[in-house]
Chain A
Amino acid sequence: MTAVGMRPVWVALALTACSGAADPEPPAEPPAPAPAAEAAPEVAAESPWIDVDATSVRETLREHPAPALLVNVWSTWCEPCVEEMPDVIATARRYEGQGLGLALIAAEPPTRRAEALSFLREQGAPEPSYFKTGGDDAFIEALHPEWSGALPATLLLDRERRVVHFWPEPVDEAALRGPIEAHLRTARPGTGTEAEAGR
């Protein structure tokens, strides 16, 4: 699996090397393997981001394999977003086995991808994660017409990516749990009830 996973990396490296775009510095140093190895993560690693804008965000969320999706729009510049992130991630993880996925969308200034990524990795967030690009207004409308644009914003989407619940305010695990559990029960009729009835 690892070997297969690595192949595109080397292909990408080779292509980049051929195009000459990899390293703008003059070739002062001998072409030792060390610099190439150092360059590898930057040049060839699978991007940790999926960019989304107003026109692509809905379709991109549809491509997520999870039958239900918790979407959280956040930024490292938004304190309540940063504060709630551990709860958002922990809650998503708790219901992962019942079909809940997590899509974190960074509404971050474009110059701060590195900071956003480092925060996500500290938090143990799933990758790839989503990065908002382009204008705000149409993006907000595309994600949810009832959203004002205030951060943080969290949504629960069903299999068809319709909005099941919208939290236009900071959340914690307790606030998330009810709507998620209610949806997961109705999304798989019978399962939860039978388990309960059998007790």
Chain B
Amino acid sequence: MTKTLSIATTLTLALTAFASGAHAQDALALGAQAPMRTHRMRNVDGQQVSIQSAAGERGTLVIFTCNHCPWAQAWEARITELGNAALGRGVGVIAINPNDPGEYPSDGFEEMQRRHRAAGMRFPYVVDETSNVARRFGATRTPEVFLFDRRGRLVYHGAVDDNAHQPDQVQQRHLADALDALVAGRPIANAQTRSIGCSIKFRD
């Protein structure tokens, strides 16, 4: 009995170790190309847009975000401002909503259209209808950004900045700094950052 139990424990521990390691490994590595670049997604204006078609000559900013998440909402104005400014600097921008509106009705298409309009986003805000784009990126939360250089290599992954709820107390403007460096052709000092956010509600 003791032996059986100890085998069971070992097995459980082994499975546990496997399970705990299995989640965080999948995030896109720096230097990697964007997955599913040609995959077409429905934009708020009804047009089909891909990451490739949204790409800019100096780079591409991919933002996983959504409607319902308070952190996405808290960062929305800054995301809009940075995204709109990036367009003017030759960096393509695409915001992607990977959430299952079955889980959160407010993550549906019409609310995307409303928020896009209200925020004044000049870049596409598209639906990841299978959540597979987010899966392939290894995105886990909203908002979460991925910045690619002009050759399509990932140069920054992570947070918008270090303070969602108090914009006036931001100390690290992670994404703004990354965009500045990208446009200036400088290496990005802090290429991977993290922030608190809402778990992505992946479709089954």
Residues of A at the B interface (CB closer than 8 Å) are: 73, 75, 77-80, 107, 109-111, 132, 135-137, 140-141, 146-152, 163, 165-170, 178-179, 182, 185-186, 192-193, 196-197
A137–B6 contact, CB under 8 A? no
CA distance A72 to B144 in the complex (A): 21
Classify chain B: how many residues form its interface, as a range. 35 or more
A140-B9 in contact given A110-B166, A135-B162, A146-B20 (Cβ < 8 Å): no
The answer to the question of B13 belonging to the interface, with a C-beta cut-off of 8 Å to chain A, is: yes
B12–A146 contact, CB under 8 A? no
The answer to the question of B159 belonging to the interface, with a C-beta cut-off of 8 Å to chain A, is: yes
CA distance A193 to B6 in the complex (A): 8
A168–B197 contact, CB under 8 A? no
A182–B20 contact, CB under 8 A? no
B195–A182 contact, CB under 8 A? no
Tell me how many residue pairs across A and B have CB atoms closer than 8 Å.
Answer: 106
B196–A136 contact, CB under 8 A? yes
A197–B195 contact, CB under 8 A? no
Residues of B at the A interface (CB closer than 8 Å) are: 1-2, 5-6, 9, 12-13, 16, 20-21, 23-24, 27, 70-71, 74, 104, 140-141, 144, 158-159, 162-166, 171-172, 174, 193-200
Inter-chain contacts of B27 with A (CB < 8 A): 148
B199–A169 contact, CB under 8 A? yes
Shortest CB–CB separation between residue A135 and chain B, in angstroms? 4
